[in-house]
Each structure stands twice: as structure tokens, then as C-alpha cells.
Amino acid sequence: MAVGYSCDATDEAQIVALIDEIEPTVVPIVVPIEVACYNAAVGVAHSILDFPPEDDERVWRINTLGAFLMGREVAERMNDRSRGTILFTGATSALRGKARLAAFAGSKHALAESMARQLFPKNIHVAHIIIDGPIDTPLIRRVSPETFENRPVDGVLNPDDIAETYWNIHCQPRNAWLRETALRPWLEPW
């Protein structure tokens, strides 16, 4: 069973309260968190020469601090059980900084790698999934209709196919865990 929850990912108290609430109340029988996925992200494009510090802080709080807080809280519970999967959604620009995206370049990638190095031996799978390309969601259809007019049907990422990849990562045998992968439509530039 999958259940979605939300909170202000930049508020430590809300993250702690949410994780404390989830495990004992997901179903009548207590079910521990087996998989946690941090998808929250925001990108702001500015020249480094005039990048407003408040924009940099907003990107950092959502992309990096929120990921750290969620990762720390679920890792603590998973560590007690010696099992679990923690997934972080990112983008190539978090691996190799792109011009005008300096704030985004410091996102989840290094956090996921650091956590994986510590938690793999504890039987906790940590992975960073790069999503490069538009995702077929109502929001993207609304704010970027030209994306769908200018691409074939299979030229955008399907949310169900993304979810299937995440599930497959969770189900991998630990003798072949991946730490990072990238998903992009066939026509998306590398």
C-alpha cells in the first residue's frame, strides 16, 4: 500500500511530527516505513553575478534542507530495523551545475551519496533518481501546454513509468543495488 503525506519540508518540527505520525497510523496494524521518497524541488534561474540571496536560500531550503531532514528522520527509524529504501528525486543540473542554476547545483545528489555510503552496510538502500524532462502532469500541461503540442506522446515522462522505476529500485536485491539512475524521454538532450 502506498500513502502520500505532505508537510512543509523546510520545517524540521513538521517533518519530525509527520514521520512520528506515519508509522503507527498507516493501517490498523502498525506498518513501518519501508520506502521514503523526497520529490520536493524548486529551481530559480539567475546569473551568478546578480543571484538574489533570498532565492538561493529558498532553493536550498526546499531542495537540500528538506531532503536532509526527511532522510535523517526516516534513516533513524530504518536503522533501528536494519532495512528500508530512501529515494531522492533530482536532475542532471544537480550533478553538473548549469549556468544560471547555481543554487540548484547543490541539491540532493551529494546528500544521497553520503547517506548511501553510511547506510548501505545497515541494509538501507539510498538512491538518487535523475528526472530530466517534462512529466505528464496536470500542472505541467497547464503551465507549459507547448511542451505537449511540440512533442510526441512518448516525448514526455509518464508518472506511472517513473513510479515503476522507483518501485523496481526498492525491490532490487542488495547484491545489485544501484545508487543513481537517470530517466528521460528518448528525445531529451543529454
Res 172: pLDDT: 97
Q: Does residue 190 fall inside a structural domain?
A: no
Q: What does the block give as the cell for 92?
A: 542532471
Q: Is the pLDDT of residue 176 over 60?
A: yes
Query: Does the residue 93 lie in any domain?
Result: yes
Task: Report the Cα–Cα distance between both ends of the chain, in Å, rounded.
Answer: 35
Strands in 35-38's sheet, in edge-to-edge order, are 35-38, 84-90, 124-131, 180-183
Number of structural domains (the chain) is 1
What is this structure's pTM? Answer: 0.90
pLDDT tens track for 103-144 = 777 778 889 999 999 999 999 999 999 999 999 999 999 999
CATH number of the domain that residue 153 is part of: 3.40.50.720
Residue at 7 is within a domain: no
Structural domain harbouring 66: 12-183
